[in-house]
Amino acid sequence: MVEPEVLHATPGDRARAAADALGDDVLTRWCADLLSGRASWGDPALPDIGWVGGQVVTGWGSPHHLDDDTRYWSRVWAARTLLYVWSERCGPDVVAGLVDPAWRVREMCAKVAARWEVGPAAETCAGLVTTDDVPRVRAAAARVLGAVGEAEHADALHGAVDDRDESVRVAAARALGTLERRLDRDL
């Protein structure tokens, strides 16, 4: 059972509580392993990050509630945790998560890549911003390009400024402005 204070805690508070209980290294390694498929949520051989000292610190809930159709949520939660607790060694797994079959994983990995300025994510995001079927993923990918993209990624943002979805158009326009300011040149 999840304690009421955990249910009302923000994802950031949950991530920090897990990091305080387990240490940043254990937590980020576990999240990266979940993203990559090297670990599975609920594996008894791994640290039980959901329960520390009898308290649920992440609020992720029971792994038994996930089935084949919802198992991707553990990867979403792992990526979301990395928004708040980070290690550079997680970068390759976050970049790999940008092509996850589940769109929510792709979106969250893009958010993480933008937050921590994961440069290697730019190339994948340049493709996502124009080809992903989900507007939320396209918009998140645009934000990554604003944060870490280079001049060669401007074409993808120019194309996304005309996207059929308004949220993508707005994100692309902002990202293009950010990219121009960051590179100190018109694109």
| DSSP designation for 89 | G
| Residues facing residue 51 across a β-bridge | 56
| Residues facing residue 56 across a β-bridge | 51
pLDDT computed for residue 5 by the predictor: 63
What is the percent of the chain where pLDDT is above 90? 68
- C-alpha to C-alpha distances, 128 to 90, 107, 117, 160, 175, nearest whole angstrom: 20, 10, 17, 10, 14
pLDDT computed for residue 52 by the predictor: 47
Q: How confident is the model at residue 6 (pLDDT cuts 50, 70, 90)?
A: low
Burial of 10 (0-12, 13-18, 19+ CB in 10 A): exposed
**96 or 74: whose pLDDT is higher?**
96
Compute, in degrees rounded to 10, the torsion defined by CA atoms 76, 12, 5, 52.
70
What is the percent of the chain where pLDDT is above 70? 84
Q: How confident is the model at residue 68 (pLDDT cuts 50, 70, 90)?
A: confident
Q: Where in the chain is the domain with CATH 1.25.10.10?
A: 90-187
Residue 3 has pLDDT above 70, yes or no: no
Q: How confident is the model at residue 17 (pLDDT cuts 50, 70, 90)?
A: confident
Q: How is residue 73 written in tokens?
A: 């949520």
Selected from 1.25.10.10, 1.25.40.10, 3.30.70.20, 3.40.50.970, the CATH number assigned to the domain covering 90-187 reads 1.25.10.10
| Residues facing residue 55 across a β-bridge | 52
Burial of 87 (0-12, 13-18, 19+ CB in 10 A): middle
Q: 30-58, pLDDT tens digit by residue?
A: 999 999 999 887 776 766 555 444 454 45
| Average pLDDT over all residues of the chain | 88
Q: 86-135, pLDDT tens digit by residue?
A: 999 999 999 999 999 999 999 999 999 999 999 999 999 999 999 999 99
| DSSP designation for 49 | T
